[in-house]
Amino acid sequence: MMKKKTKEPEENNNKKDNNSADNKEDTKVKEKNDKGGNATGESLENTDDSSVMEDTVMDEADKVIAEKRDLEEKLAEMQDRYIRLSAEFDNYRKRTLREKIEISKYAGEDLLQKIIPIMDDFERALMHMEDSHDESAVKAGVDLIYSKFSEFLKQNGIKEIPARNCDFDVDVHEAVGKFKVEDEKMKGKVVDVVQKGYFIQDKVLRFAKVIVGE
């Protein structure tokens, strides 16, 4: 009886040891499976992230290339416009310079064309003076020429500066002498005109040379 009782615990211990070993092996296999599953999942996730990043980088690169192309096109357009404007301005500068030269060269053309007929009148008057003994006719001819010339000056904005019996004005008169007068009213006034003065529009073309009473 004692021997049977001794064997049973040994068998139970062996069974427990076997069960413990089996459990350990199952645990190791499970851990391996878990590790394998996690590694595979992480690998897939990393692959997806890489693909997304590559797509994003490619999109950004395409945008940069497109923007660069647009900027190059705009720059080329601006350069072409600048060249055209520069050429147009150069042509305009040359044209205006040529026009200025012509204006300065022929500025008095219209004026001289109007004076020529008066010159013709003077020549005709001189011819008649040689053959005529009628002084009144010669005087009438000279008066006619003078009237024409005075009208010509008025038409071109030239008018005589008032001087005789006017108050002396340094802005339009040039005193070339003084004359003692008895009349107190004539003191400081122009008593005689040595040379007439003229306005062109509102500007003094030539000062009147006068004698002033004192």
Contact call for residues 146 and 118 (beta carbons, < 8 A): no
Angle between helices 135-155 and 109-131 (to 10 degrees): 170
Per-residue CA distances from 93 to 19, 23, 87, 96, 99 (Å): 110, 104, 10, 5, 10
pLDDT higher than 90, residue 38? no
The tens digit of pLDDT for each residue in 151-164 reads 888 888 899 999 99
In terms of pTM, does the model score above 0.85?
A: no
pLDDT higher than 80, residue 27? no
**How many beta carbons lie within 10 A of that of residue 22, not counting itself?**
10
The tens digit of pLDDT for each residue in 108-159 reads 777 788 888 888 888 888 887 777 777 788 888 888 888 888 888 888 889 9
SS3 label, residue 107:
coil
Q: What percent of the chain has pLDDT over 90?
A: 29
What distance in Å separates the CA atoms of residue 83 and residue 78, rounded to the nearest whole number?
9
pLDDT band at residue 44, thresholds of 50, 70 and 90? very low
The tens digit of pLDDT for each residue in 80-110 reads 999 999 999 999 999 999 888 887 777 777 7
The residue behind tokens 């003084």 is: 178
